[in-house]
Amino acid sequence: MSTRGRIKDFWREQRIFEQRALAASIIVSALAVVLFGRLIWLQVVKYDEYTDLAQGNRVRIEPQPAPRGIIYDRNGEILAENKPAYQLELVPEEVPNLDATLKGLVDIGLIDEEDRDDVRRTIRSRRPFDSVPIRLFLNDDDMARFAVNRHDFPGVDIRTRLARSYPHGETAVHALGYVGSISASDLARIDREQYAGSSTIGKVGVEAAFEDVLRGRNGRREIMVNARGRSVDKAGGLEAIRDTIPGEPGSDLMLTLDLEVQRVAEDLVSNQRAAIVALDPNNGDVLALVSRPGFDPNMFARGLTRTEFRALNENPDRPLFNRALRGTYPPGSTIKPVVALAGLTYGVTEPLAPHYCVGFYSLPGSSHRFRDWKPKGHGAIDLRSAIAQSCDTYFYEMSSRLGVRRLHDFLAEFGLGEPTGIDIGGEKAGILPSPEWKQQAFRKRSDQVWFPGETVIFSIGQGYMTSTPIQLAHMTAILATRGQNFQPRLVRALRDPETQKVTELAPKALPRPNAGKLEDWDRVVDGMLAVMQGGTASRAAAGAPYTIAGKTGTAQVFTVAQNKRYNEAAISERLRDHAWFVAFAPAEAPKIAIAVIVENGRSGSGTAAPIARTIMDAYLLRKFPTVRRENATAPAPNSDVSEE
């Protein structure tokens, strides 16, 4: 058959085909060489690179959290430990209907309705085969409720893990702090690598300050995973290697706190807004650190619901606020012994010469009356009695000779106006006013001027000055030891949990105040002894088998206008004065120095001093009040003694 007259030429066609077949063979061989080249490129030249990538695919590193260090009090009582806790966990891929499951859990009361969206978001952010904790710290009742309904919740189960536990609940919470879930702001400052596998972090207090020591080092385990990230033991001829790099448990901490004393102190102010700091003046050990009201740190460790957090955060008594370290109050008369020491050091007062108190003091050339707390005046009074009776005019007059400069610098040597440097964070500095401070603190020029009258009230701890309870405890400790100055501390030793080797931390000595001769110190201490013997707080010292040196104080919340009398009954409870008391004992060989403040407690002698006395009995005599927590009430405010 032919088309358009051409004839089929079989020989020519045979030749063409042979040529084309040859060409095809060459092309096939050439393409095979191209493939060969590509394989050499991948398998020989880039072998190392792809081996690394393949290894990275198959190996996942799983962190093994290290147990957190245990915290003990000074006598070996456990304050914070790790306990197995039961929690509800959910494996997303095993849950047929997530929304229905969560709703069901809300219905049986295992998840808070308010937290449901958060829980859902957390679950969604995890890999489908990861077990996600959705409710921590189940109690027996929760577990029973879940057990009955378990068949309704495929993919949800109860698991055990180690969780932080504070066996004494609220006790010492403001010293210990607590651990809580790692927040976004925590993530921004920590090394994430270190926290892989941890879900909690120390938030405040010792738990936060010693986080690095307590945490230890998480271990790691290498596991083989498949493409979906699931751990696989065996696949084809591959076996999991399971390489484990052990972690290091965190160090145990031995605190300076005395749990029993701490408890006594807390019980004494259980219904108050109050703070107490008790120090060992010989080394700065914090024996008790109380801020009331408190809260249960276990709530944070197990995760607060929104409602719980709101309740804590919006409580007008501010339980989360650490009054001992962060509460700044006018120190009032508690600084008078130090001011007296300043007067003696600079020779601006003659300790035995009588000062005549008429109930008020006026600066030369001024008619303004700076009133004494005792309207009728104390009459003729020397330094010892001025401290004992807390005579204001004595100090008013002395301050004008001392001058604000020297007054400021002298008080600064007792640590006022600066954080004490206690080994946990969050401490406030308070205010130690001076002309320079005023220039910085006020914007308006006219406000920046330091007036002589401001020096006058500064001398009795009023005006701009504010201090924290720990600052006053520290100041009192320096007075107690006649100048020995130790930085307050809560942690006295670390212990390696494996070797049980204890590393004692040396107390940190701070410079002695550059103040007077020993006899000047003794004069001031003598005045503080007189406070307890016939002075403002004598009732609180009654029957004590050891000597107490103390000083009462009152911090005004409400300013009384000139020529008006302070009418207690007329002002509401929240506007009443704060009651201060500082003291140390035994006076001749001090073992404990205390500062107590009871907000709106009105009277240092009536409210604060008996609290200090009970704590001293507990620490020095191991004598504990018979009535505990069950019916703990503070001594009734005593209104017939009132100072200033």
Partner 1 sequence: MLREDVDSTTQRTLTRTAQLLGSLRLDGPLLAGLAAIAVYGQFVLYSTSGGDWESVLRGSVRLALGAALMLALGQVRPGFLRRLTPWLYVTGLVLLIVVDAIGYIGKGAQRWLDLGFIRFQPSELMKLAVPMTCAWILRERPLPPDPRTLGLLAGVILVPTALTIVQPDLGTGLLILMGGLIVVLLAGLQIRYIVTLALGGVAAAVIGWSFLHDYQRQRVLTFLDPQTDPLGSGYHIIQSIIAIGSGGIFGKGYLQGSQGQLEFLPERTTDFVFAVVGEELGLVGALVLIGLYVFVVLRAIFLASQMRDTFARLLSGSLAATFFVYVFINAGMVSGLLPVVGVPLPLVSYGGTSMVTLLAGFGMLMSLYANRKLAA
Binding residues (CB under 8 A) for partner 1: these are 1-4, 6-10, 12-14, 16-18, 20-21, 24-25, 28-29, 31-32, 34-36, 38-40, 42-44, 46-47, 49-51, 53-55, 57-58, 224-228, 232, 235-238
Kindly tell me which of 42 and 542 has the beta carbon lying closer to partner 1. Answer: 42
Q: CB–CB of 504/479 below 8 Å?
A: no
Supply the minimum distance, in Å, between the C-beta of residue 44 and partner 1: 6
Q: Using the minimum distance from each CB to partner 1, give the nearer residue, 55 or 446.
A: 55
First to last CA, the chain: 135
Closest distance of CB 221 from partner 1, Å: 17
Report the alpha-carbon distance of residue 348 to residue 352 in Å, rounded.
12
Choose between 17 and 451: whose C-beta lies nearer to partner 1: 17
Backbone φ, ψ for residue 329 (5° rounding): -125, 150
CB of 4 or CB of 444, closer to partner 1:
4
Q: Which H or E run contains 282?
A: none
What are the φ/ψ torsions at residue 455 (nearest 5 degrees)?
-65, -40
Q: Tell which residue, 211, 253, 195, 250, has the closest CA to residue 498.
A: 250
Between helix 336-345 and helix 392-402 the angle, nearest 10°, is 40
Least distance to partner 1, CB of residue 222, Å = 13
By beta-carbon proximity to partner 1, the closer residue of 44 and 353 is: 44
252-255 and 71-72: which strand pairing? parallel
Q: Are strands 59-64 and 219-224 parallel, antiparallel or unpaired?
A: antiparallel
Which of 228, 501 has the CB closer to partner 1? 228
What minimum distance in Å lies between the beta carbon of 56 and partner 1? 9
SS3 493: strand
Q: How far is the CB of 196 from partner 1 (least distance, A)?
A: 22
Q: How far is the CB of 24 from partner 1 (least distance, A)?
A: 5
Helix and strand counts by DSSP (H, E) for the chain: 24, 25
434 is catalytic: no
Q: Which residues neighbour 2 within 8 Å (Cβ) at sequence distance 6 or greater?
A: 8
- What whole-number distance in Å separates Cα of residue 172 and Cα of residue 79? 8
Q: Which of 165, 270, 333, 603 is catalytic?
A: 333
CA distance 540 to 301: 40
CB count in 10 Å sphere of residue 310: 12
Residue 491: φ, ψ to 5°? -110, 125
Active-site amino acid positions: 333
